[in-house]
Structure 1
């Protein structure tokens, strides 16, 4: 006959199991060993759990599959089966809103991805998409786990596929906190935003040793794929910071400006900055002369709530500014030419930077404000051979395809194709305003006069005097501030000091805008 346990015996057995579970959970919490933790700290890096603690609201983290272990055999793997298998996954909250996260634990297998490790990531990615909540990856891994062979590679394929499916549906943020090499680097490249930490994080397809072996070039890891390289040169990284704490706090700030998914609007906040506040400072910030420089960031600070904005790709393609900010508590995306860098011209990098930002704003229902002061596209053999036509078309396509509210303000000059591309009324801007200092034309007056009046100038007794007179006439007839308004190409010419109030009123009116694109599987944008 089966043994019948007393209530006391059953209770003791359950308590024993609970005690065993508590011991296992403590082992999971501690991680592999003190030595591994010390090695992590010696590199100036936090542990995976410390990073999650900084990212999420205190006490909000719910871990998934903490007891997961790999099942691989061979190459000594069967003797080493740590809990979590080198990646911590789960969900919590940031500013009270649900966020899913996975964090590589470099202390276990160097954060390398194996089959079980990948399965955990796949699961949390699927849950984020199903729940309609942002996904943040805290990357610190050595790539595929070589001992598991093709199973590890297939795991990356599953991540890439999920990144692509979630694109434009939920915000995806990659935070680089250590090495990321080979095929693993493609996952961050597929996400909406990439954060990096100087000195401790690197991204590259082939490392310095391979580069030297193949090309003979000697370079350090940071020189090849460090934070500043990707933030300033390649444009792979949107943000770069000096330490992990600052980096993760900025991730939290970015999340506060984004919606949970593409079916929601960005979160609004109460603003103490009066909607009707005049910006008289703007009258002195922007010189009337089109060839004088100024910092567009100061204009943005004067217009937005409390001057606060988060600039995206601040160090790359600095001739255009892309930023997230608030106007009367509502999130907006700002695209603005930067006269302080290359006179604000559009080139290959600026076009790519702005195009992707516009696409991101459109995907997540963020209205777009465009501030124009653009002399044209950058001329030159390098730009033409580099495909400025193709790359400039990316920005044109992004604006034409965007269905969110779009308001443009022409501060000073807006010449040629660059004027059209920078969200002109002809490509679908809902409202277009201009300052009294605006000059909208095919090209600058000097260049236009040299083309239109070439013969008259050449035949004149005093060519320079003739050129000066014709330039003045051209400006007076075709480039005066009200020329475009008279023809309905701008909706109004406004006092610069009223720019904030005009933008807020316009966006409030457009908040219920509904625009549909033609039915299609997807577009085929220029690449």
Structure 2
């Protein structure tokens, strides 16, 4: 008899696999209560992520809604200043602002469910960043919110500022900076907040320097107290302007100054108001108020490209390029000692309404600015014979150096009206390092490469005249019949060159007579036609034709030479530098 157990066959591999799958299935189906609860809660979260979108909408609404009970906002209004969001609306084209980092800041959250929360309070970052349109052109904007910790770092998101500076380089887009506070600069409260003290690195400056040299326009406005880092950011711009009614700029505020230098009772205006910094060249221009600051920024941007890889924007011109001005024939007095208004010449030659002066309140021996010739943007340089006889001093040299560098990185050709008796002389000139800054100007003339066209209206003397006249080869220039040039002006030059002869004449009482004879002889020999006879000057033109000559030059630069210049920059053949 055969045992059944003995005859039962062992399970095969297929049966073992089936058993194993059943075991795994039983484990998976026996879920823990907590896991089932979590899955149920997850299933109840909206599929369209409206919960997250709602949080973002709430935070954005808080950020853009002013709180009239907030101490900082009240202080802002009492000071006569616009709130930061109002400034953005006033500056940019309507409805064009797109914020970057719109919900960055400090949030207090309230838990409403195991996986849900809602914001109950929000302090936005005190530096607003974003993109917008400025008269139809895209710009990046950074604006301080002084109402939150006076713009200090303990109320800022430092990463935002650095990001936007880098973004400007990547996109080749101009940057506008509205400074009211320290722009994320340091405060001792940061140490308390973080729990440790830090080495004060200035992270945003590396990309800023790169922007400046790339010719990406940096335009800044001081619309409140610009302190420390805020001051440095606006001063570093290609162009800066200060609101006269609310602007001030300083390295440290009155309280810090009082503790360091014992200067007591200073207010913002005493320490660094417009009468300080718009007169010493720290800030380029002065504006009556915020609205005028923004209008100046719009105007300057209209002359500039988006970056140095582009040509400046050409606009339609309704002013005839062959317009003549007969009055220019008599604007230069025949008597050399008499003065005239050089701005009259500038406004006569350039397109009507296009002259924009930069730095009118400082370095007043020199005049500089932007204009158009037949719709083509140009930089304009002139000497100012109404101040110190037009002799170029240290401040004037600094102003022209800055303008030359800006024109070079922006690809702006330069038109010069030359009436320069030389560098300033005397004890004040020596004490203010006139030659030092004059040589710096000379270096800039010879290291920049942007085309220059000279109109010699009267005097060209000495090292200063030689530098301004001859920094390009070949020289492109014309002269007026009022031109007078040489190593030294006759005043003083005759005394030096004929010292012995005049001394002998003085012994017999005929010094004045001999001096007059020498002066008349030199004036005869200095007839500009004699210089033209020797091809010492290429062409003497009728002053009334100056506009037509200059417009033809500008048109040729833009039509022919600008393409070559942009190509040279792109392949690294030339390297314009502002900083």
Q: How does 1:337-486 map to 2 (within 5 A)?
A: 337-422=383-468, 424-425=469-470, 427-428=472-473, 430-460=475-505, 461=508, 462-477=510-525, 479-486=526-533
- For residues 81 and 367 of structure 1, the distance between their equivalents in structure 2, rounded to whole angstroms, comes to 54
Counterparts of 1:152-231 in structure 2, within 5 Å, are 157-169=202-214, 170-218=216-264, 219-231=266-278
Q: TM-score, normalised by structure 2?
A: 0.82
**Contact map agreement 1:100 1:134 (CA 8 A) in 2:** yes
Structure 1 residues 520 and 97: alpha-carbon distance in aligned structure 2, compared to 1, 3 A threshold:
closer
1:305-346: CA deviation from partner (whole Å, max 9, x where unpaired): 114311101111111110101110010100100111111110
Alignment partners' CA distance in 1, 2:275 and 2:285: 9
Q: Which residue of 1 aligns with 2:168?
A: 128
Q: Distance in 1 between matches of 2:165 and 2:536?
A: 46
**Gaps (5+ residues) in structure 2?**
1-35, 109-118
Name the stretch that deviates more: 405-414 or 160-169: 160-169
Q: Aligned in 2, Cα 1:58/1:152: closer, same or farther, shift over 3 Å? A: farther
**Aligned position for 1:503:** 550
More moved, 275-284 vs 28-37: 28-37
Q: What secondary structure does 1:492 align onto?
A: coil
Residues 403, 195 of structure 1: CA spacing in aligned structure 2 closer, same or farther, 3 A cutoff?
same
Cα 1:489–1:10 change in 2 (3 A) is farther
Deviations 1:211-266 (A, max 9, x none): 4444444433212201221111x210111112111111111111111110011111
Deviation at 1:196, TM superposition (A): 0.8
SS in structure 1 at match of 2:550: helix
Residue 79 of structure 2 corresponds to which residue in structure 1? 43
- Counterpart contact for 1:320–1:350, Cα < 8 Å: yes
Q: 1:24 aligns with which of 59, 67, 91?
A: 59
**Larger CA deviation: 304-313 vs 281-290:** 281-290
Residue 135 of structure 2: aligned partner? 95
* SS of residue matched to 2:283: coil
CA distance in 2, matches of 1:116, 1:208: 23
> Does 2:94 match 1:58?
yes
Give structure 1 stretches of 5+ with no counterpart. Answer: 73-78
Distance across 2 between alignment mates of 1:429 and 1:408? 12
Q: Decide whether the 8 Å contact of 2:149 with 2:155 is kept in 1.
A: no
| Distance change in 2, residues 1:308/1:31 (3 Å) | same
Contact 1:231-1:315 at 8 Å conserved across structures: yes
Query: For the residues of structure 2 that align with 1:94 and 1:152, how far apart are their CA atoms?
Result: 40
Distance in 1 between residues matched to 2:56 and 2:64, nearest whole Å: 12
Q: State the shift of 1:22 in Å.
A: 2.8
Task: Show the counterpart of 1:145.
Answer: 187
User: How many Å separate the matches in 1 of 2:199 and 2:103?
Assistant: 22
RMSD of Structure 2 on Structure 1 (CA): 3.0
Closer/same/farther in 2, CA of residues 93 and 13 from structure 1, 3 Å limit: closer
Pairwise CA distance, 1:14 = 4.7
Aligned-residue offset at 1:106: 1.2
- 1:498-524 CA-to-partner distances (Å, cap 9, x unmatched) read 111111112222333346799899899
Is the 1:431–1:490 contact (alpha carbons within 8 Å) kept by the matching residues of 2? no
Shift of the 317–426 alpha-carbon distance from structure 1 to 2, 3 Å rule, reads closer
C-alpha distance in 1, partners of 2:420/2:212? 31
Distance in 1 (alpha carbons) for counterparts of 2:200 and 2:162:
8
- Contact 1:87–1:103 (CA<8 Å) still a contact in 2? yes
1:57-101 superposed Cα distances (whole Å, 9 cap, x missing partner) = 1111110011112599xxxxxx99744311110111112111001
TM-score, normalization: structure 1? Answer: 0.90
Cα distance in 1 for residues equivalent to 2:360 and 2:244: 15
CA 1:18 to 1:214, structure 2 compared with 1: closer, same or farther past 3 Å? closer
Note closer, same or farther for the CA distance 1:83–1:410 as it changes in structure 2 (3 Å cut). Answer: same
Aligned partners of 1:115 and 1:152 also within 8 Å:
no
Q: 1:307 to 1:299 in 2, by over 3 A?
A: farther
2: CA distance, partners of 1:465 / 1:11: 104
Change (3 A) 1:71 1:488: farther
1:199 Cα deviation after fit: 3.4
Q: Deviations over 1:18-66 (max 9, x none)?
A: 4444332211111455434332111110011111112211111110011
CA contact (8 A) 1:144 1:152 kept: no
The CA distance in 2 between the partners of 1:16 and 1:307, in whole Å, is: 55
Counterparts of 1:289-328 in structure 2, within 5 Å, are 289-328=335-374
Instruction: Give the count of matched residue pairs.
Output: 515
Q: Which of the pair has more CA radius of gyration?
A: 2
Greater shift in the superposed pair: 333-342 or 457-466:
457-466
Contact 1:173 1:193 (8 Å CA) reproduced: yes
Matches of 2:401 and 2:172, distance apart in 1: 25
Pair 1:5–1:153, CA change in 2 (3 A)? closer
8 Å contact kept, 2:126–2:155? no
Q: Distance in 1 between matches of 2:530 and 2:242?
A: 47
